[in-house]
Chains A and B, each alone.
Chain A
Amino acid sequence: MQLDGRRFLFPRMKSGLLHLLLLVGGIPVSASADGFNPHKVVKAFPAITDPRIVTVGEAGGFVEGNELVLGVVIGKQARAYPLNMLTNPTREIINDRLGGSAIAATW
């Protein structure tokens, strides 16, 4: 993916656009000179760039009906990210591809 003529970023993807999907929750912040002073809560961990994606049939009832998911549609393709898979400090950002776009689902 390109941004200002340079290869980008969170995912190791080679072409397409980068989109940020959606965010919930947040990191507590406190004031600093540039107004951005995040608390470091975990060490840097490897980016998740090739997540396992399955069909409804393959999921086979593993996800229960009342679980919350983050859903997105690009073109004619729909994808759901169960919140119970996005959480945990070593997840939280899933670099993915959908409908020809490079996206990141974040929590």
Chain B
Amino acid sequence: MRDVETNSLWSHLLGKAMRGEFKGTELKILPGVMTTWSEWCLRHPRTTLLGMSRTTRSYREAVWKKSNRFVYGVHLGAGRPSPAVSLKRLQQEPVFNFESAGHVVLITAGEKGVRARAFSRKLKGEILVFSASGKGTITDDRTSSRWDVTTGECLGGKLKGTVLSVLPGTISFRTAWEAFFPEGRIVE
């Protein structure tokens, strides 16, 4: 992408200006989530939405059918090794704990690998390991507290009221992720 004011060229996957006056400048990447419209409305009943015309009708959950072609990448910033997990693996293990380049990461995903979110597993200096405990909830190994898979909020137990840090992440074509993050590790 380019900016109107200086015509610098930006990589949208890195969020960084690669050429031109702003070369080297990074934008802050927000933790967005990809999910279905019905699920988003359940979570956010007062949401607003983009109201432009459709250009296609292709993007429904079936788009991830060939899950080998996609990864869920955790965006730790341009130039920093950014770990990714194959979508196929997330479909098999929708609560996925791992460690990469010094970061302890939790990825939670819906059954088709969509609705994935990434969180830091570090809380107040301690590292937690999570497992699925019911619909929409996970449990940590230290205190057996219950957490919301989507928000990272502790719903009950000793840690009630605390929230895991959300990490920016995105579903990407595997080839695109490999090209932009050649140092990053993809967990198969």
Q: Which A residues are within 8 Å of any B CB, using their own CB? A: 3-4, 6-10, 12, 17-29, 34, 36, 38, 44, 47, 51-56, 58-59, 63-74, 77-88, 91-94, 96, 103-106
Query: Given A65-B37, A80-B37, A85-B52, does the pair A22, B47 have CB atoms closer than 8 Å?
Result: no
Q: Are B58 and A58 in contact (CB under 8 A)?
A: no
Chain A hits for B67, CB < 8 A: none
Q: Add 6 more A-B contacts to A59-B49, A80-B37, A93-B1 (CB < 8 A).
A: A22-B32, A25-B172, A53-B49, A67-B36, A67-B60, A84-B57
Q: Within the complex, which residue of B9, B15, B18, B60 is in contact with A68, where a contact is CB–CB below 8 Å?
A: B60
Interface presence of B132 (CB below 8 A): no
Q: Which residues of A contact B28 (CB under 8 A)?
A: 17-20
Specify which chain B residues have a CB less than 8 angstroms from the CB of A26 in the assembled complex.
13, 172-173, 175-177, 179-180
**Closest residue to B42 on the A side, CB-wise?**
A65
30 contacting pairs across A/B (C-beta < 8 A):
A3-B25, A10-B1, A22-B32, A22-B168, A26-B13, A26-B173, A26-B177, A26-B179, A26-B180, A27-B12, A27-B176, A29-B179, A36-B11, A36-B19, A51-B51, A54-B48, A55-B48, A59-B49, A59-B51, A67-B36, A68-B34, A68-B59, A68-B63, A69-B40, A69-B49, A71-B34, A73-B44, A79-B48, A80-B37, A87-B59
